[in-house]
Structure 1
Amino acid sequence: MLKILIAEDEEPIANLIRMNLRRAGYQCTWAPDGEKAADLMDTEKFDLLLLDVMLPGINGYELMDYARTLELPVIFLTALGSTENKVKGLKMGADDYLTKPFEIVELLARVEAVLRRYNKTETLITVFDVVIDAASRSVTRDGDPISLTMKEFDLLLLLARNRNIALYRETIYETVWGGEYMGQSRTVDLHIQRLKKKLNWDNEIAAVYKVGYRLEGEEKRKDF
């Protein structure tokens, strides 16, 4: 299981990030200040650091220097949204820079992209009794293949990687099909219905009123 360190001094934000990353299948550890984050980086091996700039004690820029010595991928998550700050963070070696406030689905996409760049993504995802292999782009149930079109597979993978998160139709369309979502389009709804039929999922993919869809699922881990 991939391990992510969250260096964030605002506990509500840290809890929100941690909850959604756990739902996506990551193991998370929270550090409320720079010194605690540095101690954890000394004693544990992490696959990614989510780093706020304005941390008590050791700030994010100082931690960035230390993370580079450990060859630890870093995504800055900060309220400092100026171009100057973003350029500074990226020039220091950060892999990405996300400005608060941000949408969880965007954070998850950026986390996945950075981990993929370092060949750290987990390719097998199990949802209920269905196994999704992102590398071979195949879907099976009890070893038997389930035939999906390219877009149906992309749609299922998006839902699986954002399990328990309500995804807007606009987000689904723009991620899977690309381009701008037109409100009158029924493309997403039709593909959802076809996917549910092929997977024999009547209730597993839930419609969220005035939003879009959510793949249901129980929590696998408890808070710590």
Structure 2
Amino acid sequence: MKARILVIEDEIAINDLLCMNLEVTGYETVSCLDGNEASDTIRQDHNFQCALVDIMLPGKDGYALLPELKRFGIPVIFLTAKADLSSKVKGLKEGAEDYIVKPFEMLEVMVRLEKVLERHGSTQEQLQIDDVIIDTVSHTVIKNGEEIYLKPMEYNCLMMFVKSPNKALSREQLLSGLWGVEFEGETRTVDAHVGRIRKKLGWQDKIKTIPRIGYRLEVDL
């Protein structure tokens, strides 16, 4: 079953960006553009595994929505331009699971969302891109019904692309995600992993090389 994510964001472009990226990676989304609409939605349908919530909303703000979401056991991640420490402390003390300041990177949002879902036992078990199915529990990859063996680092590299579709990822970003910030090896190490993923999945034309930057997984939205 797909995890359902409630997106409460009044900026249409950001709302659309969040929903498109979530849906590409296998989530089901419901979006609201103001706090009053969100409040009505929560009362009528509260089967959500997480909510991404802006704080500064028309109608009820994110702080006012927080107890309504908590009442139905819906974890909340605040996505907000309010970068001051007092706002962050208030959000976390009142029960938000996480607090992300705008402008944000979609990859960071996806990773933090995944961590919240893991804590609440609601992880997305299967993701599909074209004819490739990724089981995030068993870490298996199936293409056209046949299992494709990926080494652990290859699998982790694939997941970084999947969590950030249509976004150019630099070699440094990939290295940091795979080995941590302390890794001091040659950035071209990433090229070997990407090359093997392309060959094994037949994704030579799907993972594009971005000159002087890195790579981008192209997915139809």
For normalisation by structure 1, the TM-score amounts to 0.89
* Alignment-mate amino acid for residue 122 of structure 1: Q
2:195 is the counterpart of 1:193 = yes
Closer/same/farther in 2, CA of residues 189 and 119 from structure 1, 3 Å limit? same
Aligned length: 219
State the distance in 2 between where 1:32 and 1:40 align.
Answer: 11
Q: Secondary structure at the match of 1:50?
A: strand
State the distance in 2 between where 1:107 and 1:29 align.
Answer: 17
Deviations 1:162-201 (A, max 9, x none): 3333222222111112125669521111111122122233
State the distance in 2 between where 1:200 and 1:31 align.
Answer: 38
2:31 is the counterpart of 1:30 = yes
State the distance in 1 between where 2:148 and 2:21 align.
Answer: 28
Contact 2:35 2:58 in 1 (8 A): yes
Closer/same/farther in 2, CA of residues 101 and 183 from structure 1, 3 Å limit? farther
Aligned partner (choices 114, 136, 153) of residue 138 of structure 2: 136
1:72 — aligned with what?
Answer: 74
Contact 1:4 1:27 in 2 (8 A): yes
2:43 is the counterpart of 1:42 = yes
1:222 — aligned with what?
Answer: none
Q: Secondary structure at the match of 1:139?
A: strand
State the distance in 2 between where 1:218 and 1:133 align.
Answer: 20
Q: Secondary structure at the match of 1:203?
A: coil
Contact 1:23 1:162 in 2 (8 A): no
Contact 2:26 2:128 in 1 (8 A): no
Q: Secondary structure at the match of 1:55?
A: coil
Aligned partner (choices 82, 87, 90) of residue 89 of structure 2: 87
2:61 is the counterpart of 1:59 = yes
State the distance in 1 between where 2:72 and 2:193 align.
Answer: 44
Closer/same/farther in 2, CA of residues 118 and 58 from structure 1, 3 Å limit? same
State the distance in 2 between where 1:180 and 1:206 align.
Answer: 27
Q: CA deviation at 1:19?
A: 2.1
Segment of structure 1 superposing worse, 140-149 or 72-81? 140-149
1:12 — aligned with what?
Answer: 13
State the distance in 2 between where 1:218 and 1:104 align.
Answer: 17
* Alignment-mate amino acid for residue 37 of structure 1: A
Contact 1:138 1:145 in 2 (8 A): yes
CA RMSD of aligned residues (A): 1.9
Segment of structure 1 superposing worse, 140-149 or 59-68? 140-149
Contact 2:106 2:164 in 1 (8 A): no
User: What 5-or-longer segments of structure 1 have no aligned partner?
Assistant: 220-224
2:101 is the counterpart of 1:99 = yes
Contact 1:115 1:121 in 2 (8 A): yes
Segment of structure 1 superposing worse, 120-129 or 87-96? 120-129
Closer/same/farther in 2, CA of residues 16 and 130 from structure 1, 3 Å limit? closer
Q: Secondary structure at the match of 1:93?
A: coil
Contact 1:129 1:142 in 2 (8 A): yes
Contact 2:22 2:28 in 1 (8 A): yes
State the distance in 2 between where 1:164 and 1:96 align.
Answer: 25
Q: CA deviation at 1:24?
A: 2.0
2:160 — aligned with what?
Answer: 158
Identity %: 41
2:179 is the counterpart of 1:172 = no
* Alignment-mate amino acid for residue 128 of structure 1: D
Q: CA deviation at 1:160?
A: 2.2
